Chains A and B, each alone.
Chain A
Amino acid sequence: MNTAATSTDRFSTSAGRMVVAAVVMLVCVVLLMLVSTTGMQGLLDLAQRTEARVPTFLVRISLIIAALTAAFFFITSHSYYKRNKVAIAPWMFLSVGLVFFSIYVIVPIFQSISYSFTRWDGLYDFNGVWTGEWVGLHNYKLLLDDPNFYTSLWNNLLWLLLFMLAVPIGLFIALFLNQTVAGIRIYKSLFFFPFVISQVVVGLIFTWAYNPEFGLLSEIWSWFFCETKTNIMGNLTRVCSPEPPSILGDETMATYGIIAAGLWPQIAYCMILYLTGLNNISSDQIEAGRLDGAKGWKMLRHVILPQLKPATFIAIVVTVIGALRSFDMIATMTQGGPYGSSNVLAYYMYDQAVGEGVGRYGYGSAIATVLFLIMLVYISYFLWRMYVDEMEAK
């Protein structure tokens, strides 16, 4: 904050700093090229050694960071920057994050779509040349004749529909807990608990709970349908009629079982959104409503729910995304089985592309593209809503 400097000083180029920054930048780039070329790696015998991969990578990253820092000083020393700060600075703030995000997220979307028009197993030949072949719409034609694809699509639809139950149930629990009795805060956090646990763990918990021999469900089942008898060997055995169902082993029930397990954390998430929303409702309006004689359902419908709109919107958005992203639970609970009956697009794609002995990159990408297009409907709607909000805020 050089307030003593005159205005001409403030805008002039600091040549010394620029030269130093340029030299540092040059050195970094030269070193980076040295490290990256295969010749150098061969020299140090690094390419062959797996344990050397991480250190070489970290060296490369450090060099890039150093070069970027030097570039930062280089630019900020120039008089052009000093005269046009407000126009240039946002791009400098954005540069690293935007490039990083584009490389790993934006560009791969288009790459995947282009893969979907090829037949490829993910490999390159010895010279590093791509081994795939261009097949046009072939993968999409295969998709239309693939019964597994329709099962997955149908299951995705089931997920979308049934997952929506999380929103009203979450609201119900939030209304139940929105009180001020002693210890209610602890109850609220404990009700939220399932959301914090990894989906893999939730999947394992429910796999066990659904186990027909010694799971939670079979225990509850036995209260109603089982009796303990002494068999001819003189041992106590449990006889049930009908036998407890094997939910995850049954083609018609597996998907519903997984969705029910997935609802558990999702309800907790919706609940916390609504609790926050309820907390911020203006008490004036509730009092006004009470004076008008509104209570119970009427009050909820006409006074509370309109004020909870932002919470409902976010709850729906996260639930839709959660439903379409369902993967972890299916991978832990059934791996898409029995006979592919609990597959969803996300898992089927994974299975086709990198599952054991398959490696159909092109076909997998076609499935991913379909899933992406479904999601795109929601993304567009969400962005449009945000755009409207932004315009109103102005």
Chain B
Amino acid sequence: MFPRPVEKASAGVRWAYKLSLPIALFLWLLPLLAIFMTSIRPASDIATGNVFGIPSSFQFFQNYGEVFAKTDALQYLINTLLIAVPTTIISVSLACLTGYALAIYKFKWALPLFFLFVAGNFVPFQILMLPVVDMSNRLEIINTVPGLVMFHAAFQTGFCTLFMRNFMKALPFELIESARLEGVDEFKIFWHLVLPLVKPAIAALCVLIFTFIWNDFFWASVLIRDDSNLPITVGVRTLNGEFVQQWHLVSAASLLAAVPPVLMFFAMQKHFIAGLTLGATKG
């Protein structure tokens, strides 16, 4: 283990370390803590300059209630779910298929096609923007939730394929070979043998893609203009314009947008980190 464990150090160092942890964390999360404090104080506090002290009254429920009552925040949250869940299902399912083809079969196109997916995954969004807008227009799905889902699902298939292919490459190939010799159909091998083995990868991908899509801002602002179809990220920015100088409400709405991915992260932490750090250890 590096650095040397503090347990082996002197008592003084040990205490200093344990004391420095909460201080460092406090400084690291200071912006977040401050905005949380702002979201539970009354508007009058901010006007009188009591921005960081103890709130003159705790208005947690009033402020957050007001966000829901005065705005379409609930609608925005539902829209985000309607975008994120189908996207996750479609792109992860498709990537199981493509990843399997690219990892298991040895044909000469396997590597070039894999690189096509990887390269596509890294291109700047702006180079895709106008043709995608144009196509969505012609398919008459611009401004709709399914239209956004179609794009997200296609784009995320690239990342999911990269992930799945590398995960499946590490499976014991002899297992598949022997099933083939038994005369099992290719699709049955995939369904009954390989899919159960990649369940951890599927879980990791689902958590990651859900979070990515939940936090997407660019594509939602490009492909959706109707207020009733906006997801929460774009919605929150619109609210920022409406609540001029009402920082207690802006901060409450912002934190609201952050809650679902944060919950997701804490519930599925192991999968989330396994997904993000794929490739950080091998090689």
Contacts and interface: CB of A to CB of B under 8 A. Distances in A.
B146 interface: yes
A264 B126 contact: no
Interface string B1-40: 1111111000000100110010011001111101100100
B52 interface: yes
A357 to B, nearest CB: 15
B124 A368 contact: yes
Nearest to B232: A198
A369 interface: yes
Nearest to B283: A310
B87 interface: no
Given A238-B49, A325-B125, A53 B214 contact: no
A111 B131 contact: yes
A300 B2 contact: yes
Contact of B183 (A3, A109, A187, A198): A3
A340 B265 CA distance: 36
A54 B145 contact: yes
Interface string B100-127: 1110110100110101111110111111
B116 A106 contact: yes
Given A1-B184, A108-B128, A286-B2, A97 B94 contact: yes
9 contacts: A97-B95, A101-B157, A105-B154, A115-B131, A196-B262, A276-B273, A277-B280, A325-B124, A332-B240
B261 A371 contact: no
Interface in A65-117: 76, 85-87, 89-91, 93-94, 96-98, 100-101, 103-109, 111-113, 115
Contact of B35 (A87, A93, A208, A299): A208
Contact of A386 (B2, B25, B118): B118
Interface residues of A, number: 118
Contacts of A264: 31
A105 B2 contact: no
B133 interface: yes
B282 interface: yes
B74 interface: no
B120 A106 contact: yes
Given A350-B126, A382-B122, 16 more contacts: A3-B182, A101-B117, A104-B154, A104-B155, A190-B28, A197-B32, A201-B255, A205-B31, A208-B247, A281-B1, A295-B4, A331-B218, A365-B127, A368-B127, A372-B124, A375-B124
Contact of A216 (B6, B25, B31, B161): B31
Contact of B128 (A105, A194, A277, A304): A105
Contact-size category for B:
35 or more
B250 A204 contact: yes
A179 B14 CA distance: 11
Given A101-B157, A331-B237, A90 B132 contact: no
Interface in A194-219: 194, 196-201, 204-206, 208-209, 214-216, 219
Q: Interface SS of chain B: helix, strand, loop or mixed? A: helix
A375 to B, nearest CB: 5
Nearest to A383: B115
Interface of B: 1-7, 14, 17-18, 21, 24-25, 28-32, 34-35, 38, 46, 49, 51-52, 94-95, 97-98, 100-102, 104-105, 107, 110-111, 113, 115-120, 122-135, 139-141, 144-147, 150-151, 153-155, 157-158, 161, 180, 182-188, 190, 211, 214-215, 217-218, 221-222, 233-234, 236-237, 240, 247, 250-251, 254-255, 257-258, 261-262, 264-266, 269, 273, 276-277, 279-283
A166 interface: no
Nearest to A391: B111
